[in-house]
Amino acid sequence: MIHVEHLTKRYAGRTAVDRISFDVGRGEIVGFLGPNGAGKSTTLRILTCFLSATEGTATVAGHDIFKDSIAVRRHVGYMPENVPLYTDMRIHEYLRFRARLKGLGWRESRRAVEEAMDICALADVRSKLIGTLSKGYRQRVGLADALVNKPDLLILDEPTNGLDPNQIRQVRELIRQLGERHTILISTHILHEVEMTCGRVIILHRGRIKASDTPKNLIRRLRDAGAVRMEILDPPADTIALLERLPGVKSAAHIETRQGWACVEIRTDSLVDVREEIYNLAVAKRWKLRELTRHQASLEDAFVDIIQDAGKDG
């Protein structure tokens, strides 16, 4: 669906996007991640033909974004970070206006608007002025706008920006449903949502791609992928050595002791849960435990690790 090769965007005095190459296949939901200033929004604007590139090539649905931008726009639904809306229009009026701008006929636009409002749960507020809507509903209107021409590709830039936790959950479920019919490229800072929604992740740093893989594979690459916290009463001298002999354990270390209870942190291999083995060992050695808690590495941990490494490399 998307093919990008050596794409570059330079401004006076700086390079926002630096010779990046990637592909997004039809039907994928791909997270586009990076710290502020990494080049995410610039790349998305280039792919949607809002910006021109300095160098490189890119195609969307087989159409060159530089030579055939009109055809590209017919295949793309774009929701920018700050959705520009006409606040003095009613929802259904605005969406019909947008549908006509995107080339839909009068009858076709009416059907398309009704479908988009149903998908985004806007039918019950269709006659409200956009200026009176909450942030969550404005985001829904922006998403309905992106969907109204039934595009093959949805490009969503911070779709949950400014939403409360309940609204974020609703948008996440909606994106999952849309993924059954659309290819989706989504940029967001909420990594937990990406981990639950996206099948693949592309991470940018200073305009360059630093990682491209599934969330699980990125987590497996972590040096300290998982950990178990254990509290044990008056641990014997050989406790650390015994723990480090367990399969899947990378290291164990005593952190602190309070009122005789020692806190031990046990580092493990990625996606491995060693709590049962630790419990069996504790039973065999008659250790007294009061805590055995697993910390499983997340996409956020992987993201921080990758960005820190990228910062060291310059």
State the Cα–Cα distance between residues 53 and 72, nearest whole angstrom.
Answer: 15
pLDDT at 154: 92
pLDDT at 96: 94
Structure token digits, residue 195: 């981990």
The architecture of the domain spanning 2-220 is 3-Layer(aba) Sandwich (3.40)
Cβ 84 vs Cβ 34: under 8 Å: no
What residues does CATH 3.30.70.1340 cover in the chain? 226-296
Distances in whole angstroms, Cα of residue 27 to Cα of each of 14, 40, 63, 84, 183? 34, 21, 17, 27, 4
Structure token digits, residue 245: 């002999």
Which residue's structure tokens are 């809507």?
A: 133
Question: Can you state the angle between helices 165-178 and 106-119, rounded to 10 degrees?
Answer: 130
Note the maximum CA span of the chain.
80
Distances in whole angstroms, Cα of residue 63 to Cα of each of 2, 7, 101, 146? 9, 16, 20, 19
**Strands (DSSP E) found in the chain:** 2-11, 14-24, 29-33, 55-60, 63-64, 76-79, 153-157, 183-187, 200-205, 208-213, 226-233, 249-258, 261-268, 289-296
pLDDT at 308: 79
pLDDT at 115: 92
pLDDT at 12: 84
Task: Determine whether 234 is exposed, middle or buried from the number of CB atoms within 10 Å of its CB (0-12, 13-18, 19+).
Answer: exposed
What residues does CATH 3.40.50.300 cover in the chain? 2-220
The architecture of the domain spanning 226-296 is 2-Layer Sandwich (3.30)
Name the residue among 113, 297, 279, 104 with its Cα closest to residue 195: 297
Residues of the chain short of pLDDT 50, as ranges, are: none
pLDDT at 310: 67
CA 305 from centre of chain? 16
Cβ 7 vs Cβ 53: under 8 Å: yes
pLDDT at 277: 94
What is the tens place of the pLDDT at every residue in 156-168? 988 887 777 887 8
pLDDT at 13: 79
State the Cα–Cα distance between residues 104 and 149, nearest whole angstrom.
Answer: 7
Name the residue among 26, 8, 28 with its Cα closest to residue 18: 8
Structure token digits, residue 152: 């093959």
pLDDT at 257: 92
